[in-house]
Amino acid sequence: MGRLTGKKIVLGLTGGIACYKVAELTRALGKAGATVQVVMTQSATQFITPVTMQALSGNTVYHDQWDARIHNNMPHIDLTRDADLIVIAPCSTDFIFKLAHGACDDLLSTLCIARPAHIPLLVAPAMNVEMWQNPATQRNVALLKADGIQLLGPAAGEQACGETGMGRMLEPDQLLAEIIAAFQPKTLAGKQLLITAGPTFEAIDPVRGITNLSSGKMGYAIALAAWEAGADVTLISGPTALDAPYGSRRIQVQSAQQMHDAVMAQLAQKHHDVFIAVAAVADWRVSNASEQKLKKTCATDTPQLEFAQNPDILAGVAAMPGAPYCVGFAAESENLLQYGSAKRIKKNVPLLVGNIGHATFGLDENELILFDAHGHQHLPRADKQTLAKQLIAEIAARIKP
């Protein structure tokens, strides 16, 4: 099942070259399980046709407020009454003005003003940088925010007019992430979370090293779920092939020592409410790593590697005065119930999450066991994003005052 299964979304398009991005967004919403009802302004039809949007959404597209295809000739009423969300993308400067001042001179603007109060309205601005920065636009944007309308972006970058700056509409994948997040309960609103993810890499020489099979997928899924729950998320990641999870600030590191230093630096800079140590951190590093590539001069040559123990990041954070709520991860190969329970006590953390490492590394699914002072709780095998959402809900319930 997609993350938007059963949701009905009214997708409004206003005039702007960014309409071409909305074609991809419409497909993405459908793949996520949503039913998409497209409504366009006349200006939008100059940039993309209703035929295209009908083909992509699978539903009749409306752009006339007097459309007789609606049985009571009131599309501005009927199109929203069973909707879960309204998204305007792209949202032009003119349409922002209409929303801010309650203007109703076409189907889409009338539909937005006539929507039931419980239906959220999200807008994705798209305009020239000078239009976005204009004081009149900013006054109207402030009015939208005061009215509880959520703005998605805009972003900075190159624009179709050839200029560069704020005003670009978010990309389709970013808009999809924002729309999915709009349906999630904000159980961590206002909370600061610090998360580690991925493997570490301990150098043997400049081209070789020791690492593990962690892909980072579980940690990245948790970072996304925490952002969806309203948290401010900083992610410290070892080397992975993953894109940074939307909504998080990612700090890239390589070795366990670098991860330790980055974690401590973040904790020193500001207060964090929760620390989740998901990363598969190497217990040892090579203490006699070579500054040059080790050469095999004969068949019997074997490098003599010496090891030193890496700092224990989780235990170190848990022992700090005023430590955040600490959540550890244990990737075991056997005896998970025994080792997981013992590790939670040894690390002195309130919650530890255990899994069988070789049964999940690199995969999109996982199975978790939560260990706390009361025992353990099983989260059955599911995709990692589903498990991440469940884990974040557990953490939110445990830190709730």
CATH number at residue 176: 3.40.50.1950
Do residue 96 and residue 208 come from a single domain? no
Has residue 294 been placed in a domain? no
Give the whole-angstrom CA distance, residue 380 versus residue 397. Answer: 19
Give the whole-angstrom CA distance, residue 78 versus residue 87. Answer: 16
Has residue 301 been placed in a domain? no
Has residue 363 been placed in a domain? yes
Residue-number span of the structural domain to which 272 is assigned: 192-284+306-399
Has residue 187 been placed in a domain? no
Has residue 1 been placed in a domain? no
> Where does residue 355 rank: exposed (0-12), middle (13-18), buried (19+ CB within 10 A)?
buried
Structure token pair of residue 322: 């005023």
Do residue 174 and residue 206 come from a single domain? no
pLDDT at position 299, please?
66
pLDDT at position 360, please?
83
pLDDT at position 359, please?
80
pLDDT at position 269, please?
95
Which is catalytic among the residues 91, 104, 112, 161?
Answer: 161
Has residue 216 been placed in a domain? yes
Which of 128, 149, 182 marks a domain boundary?
Answer: 182
Give the whole-angstrom CA distance, residue 256 versus residue 100. Answer: 51
Number of domains in the chain: 2
Residue with tokens 């409004």: 12
Buried b (16+ CB within 10 A) or exposed e, 265-276: ebbeeeebbbbb
- List 122's β-bridge partners, or say none: 87, 150
Q: Is 161 a catalytic residue?
A: yes
Give the whole-angstrom CA distance, residue 66 versus residue 41. Answer: 13
Asked if residue 127 lies in contact with residue 92, where contact means CB atoms within 8 angstroms, the answer is: yes
Has residue 295 been placed in a domain? no
Do residue 100 and residue 237 come from a single domain? no
- List 36's β-bridge partners, or say none: 9
Q: How far is CA 203 from the centre of its chain?
A: 31
Which of 147, 164, 182 marks a domain boundary?
Answer: 182
Has residue 87 been placed in a domain? yes
pLDDT at position 361, please?
85
Shortest CA distance to 11 belongs to which of 27, 145, 171? 27
pLDDT at position 137, please?
97
pLDDT at position 183, please?
97
Give the whole-angstrom CA distance, residue 56 versus residue 367. Answer: 36
Which of 182, 205, 226 marks a domain boundary?
Answer: 182
pLDDT at position 300, please?
67
Q: pLDDT tens digits, the chain, 401 residues: what are they?
A: 699 999 999 999 999 999 999 999 999 999 999 999 999 999 999 999 999 999 999 999 999 888 878 777 788 888 899 999 999 999 999 999 999 999 999 999 999 999 999 999 999 999 999 999 999 999 999 999 999 999 999 999 988 888 889 999 999 999 999 999 999 999 999 999 999 999 999 999 999 999 999 999 999 999 999 999 999 999 999 999 999 999 999 999 999 999 999 999 999 999 999 999 999 999 999 999 999 998 887 766 788 899 999 999 999 999 999 999 999 999 888 888 898 999 999 999 999 999 888 888 888 899 999 999 999 999 999 999 999 999 999 999 999 87
